[in-house]
Structure 1
Amino acid sequence: MKKITVYTTSTCPYCDMMKNFLKENELPFKEVNVQQDPVAANRLVQATGQMGVPQTEINGQWVLGFDPEKVMQLVE
């Protein structure tokens, strides 16, 4: 099973799209809201050099933004 973490903010429509996409494909994930968790926000920038959301980590690989094709490549 792949380990999936989605980094989001409360006001990001693409974050909702990513979460809905994962749910529709029955891919369990953990959500980290970087607006509510500044430590996680810092960790995200350290890991990816990016502040944008959503960012999705799948087994150590990063998907920036809402990119369903890349997600499916990484989970197959």
Structure 2
Amino acid sequence: MYATSTCPFCERARRLLREQGVSWTEVAVDAAPEKREEMKARSGQTSVPQIFIGQAHVGGFDDLDALDQEEALERLLRV
């Protein structure tokens, strides 16, 4: 997950992932500006968070939350 330390949507994504009991790798784009360019290249987006499961781009928090509401997130995380 590409994120910043001050983003409320990033915190919501962290909370949701913790609730799912999964670990993740976080790339702090506020601490490493070159990683923001990497995020843009990978996702085509400029906002955070940008979440990937494996190599698949999920999107931002709203997308992650929608997957959770549809009960599809757990299946994606367990693959």
Shorter-normalised TM range: 0.7 to 0.9
Cα RMSD over matched residues? 1.5
- Kindly indicate whether residue 25 of structure 2 is the aligned counterpart of residue 23 of structure 1: no
Q: Is the 8 A contact 1:8 1:53 kept in 2?
A: yes
* Structure 1 ranges of 4+ moved more than 4 A: none
- Kindly indicate whether residue 57 of structure 2 is the aligned counterpart of residue 62 of structure 1: yes
Q: More helix per residue: 1 or 2?
A: 2
Amino acid at match of 1:9: T
Q: Is the 8 A contact 1:53 1:64 kept in 2?
A: no
Structure number with higher relative contact order (C-alpha < 8 Å, ≥ 6 residues apart): 1
Q: More strand per residue: 1 or 2?
A: 1
Gaps of 5+ in 1: 1-5
Larger Rg: 2
Distance 1:70 1:44 in 2: 21
Secondary structure of 2:26 counterpart? strand
One of 31, 44, 50 as aligned partner of 2:45: 50
